[in-house]
Structure 1
Amino acid sequence: MVNVGDSKTLIVHPASTICADNTEAEKLQMGVYEDLVRISIGIEDSKDILADIDQALKVV
């Protein structure tokens, strides 16, 4: 689970984590769609963050 205020870069899929208990109508009202991901950028070196994101996107 994502920790608020964490210093690490985190990526979460809100529809299946944070909003998992909400109805589909509630998710739509909040703007939480199945293809939405939330990225919280941390304090790591920016080149490392971008390389990690690039690597992850090649898999999907």
Structure 2
Amino acid sequence: QGRNDLSMSLVGAVGAITSGVVLGWIGFTGLALVVGVAVIATVLLAPYGRIRQAA
């Protein structure tokens, strides 16, 4: 359990550092564009997640 907690903490720290660098690089406008693309893709692809073939 301790090793898992350590690895999760390290990954969280690396993610926080990386996100700060990326945000500093692209700014809030770039962040909004990236998130907008992700939201649009999710909305467009969501119906395909509900399609089930008839048995």
TM-score range, shorter chain: 0.3 to 0.5
Higher strand fraction (1 or 2): 1
> Which fold has the larger relative contact order, with Cα–Cα distance below 8 Å and residues 6 or more apart in sequence?
1
Q: If the length of structure 2 is used for normalisation, what is the TM-score?
A: 0.36
Q: If the length of structure 1 is used for normalisation, what is the TM-score?
A: 0.34
